[in-house]
Amino acid sequence: MCPEITDADVLLLASIASALKPDYTREGTEDPWAGSPFAWIRARPSRQIGKIGEQLVAGWCAAKGLDVTATHDREADRVIAGQRVEIKFSTLWETGVYKFQQIRDQNYDFAVCLGVSPFEAHCWVISKKTLRQHVIGHTPQHRGRSGTDTFWITVRPTSPPEWMLPLGGTLGEAYRMMRRWQMKKR
């Protein structure tokens, strides 16, 4: 809820701003993130965005009843249902894709890739073996000698790469995959 403007000068200024707005915005270019519960995340620095993504995945998994613990090393972000997990997070880019970045060949079993759109979320659970087949060594994030250890995945949520189709897509599908880990552990 927006507070009501009562000061006459602020009201006048707001009226002028409203009259000017069409000169600076194109019709139909309203912010698709307006009113989104995830919009605030996009305004944070990239280092914080990654941490927020880790906290979202960990909190969601814990709330769904999966065991979640810290790894105490830098090779993976969490242990979820007994598996070492690297968490990758992306908000939807203006081009309609998620970019899961900084994928490295480190000590983890799975990558959980969480993407949030203004009013949707998507999630894929990708084994290290599958990442090696399709990402690590195949889609470098940076060019040149210094950038050979980081890779990324570009995903259009409406049409992910074929190899990703059985690996989730919805939060429910991703949860079912992770739930199997916990069931095997018992």
pLDDT tens-digit readout, 25-48: 666 667 889 889 999 999 999 889
Strands, E assignment, the chain: 68-70, 78-80, 83-91, 98-103, 110-116, 121-127, 151-155, 168-169
- Residue owning tokens 């927006």: 2
Number of separate domains in the chain: 1
Structure tokens at 18: 């409203």
Structural domain harbouring 141? 32-185
Question: Count of CB atoms within 10 A of residue 110's CB?
Answer: 25
Task: Tell me, yes or no, whether 48 lies in a domain.
Answer: yes
Q: pLDDT tens digits for 80-96?
A: 999 999 999 999 999 99
Q: Which CATH number fits the domain that encloses residue 82? A: 3.40.1350.10
Q: Does 14 fall in a domain?
A: no
Task: Tell whether 27 is covered by a domain.
Answer: no
- Residue 148: is its pLDDT beyond 70? no
Report in angstroms the alpha-carbon separations of 62 from 27, 56, 66.
43, 10, 5
- Which pLDDT belongs to residue 166? 95
Q: Is residue 8 part of a domain?
A: no
pTM to 2 decimals?
0.82
Q: Which residue has the tokens 């429910």?
A: 172
Flag the least confident range among 15-19, 24-28, 100-104, 147-151. Answer: 24-28
- pLDDT tens digits for 114-136? 999 999 999 999 999 999 999 88
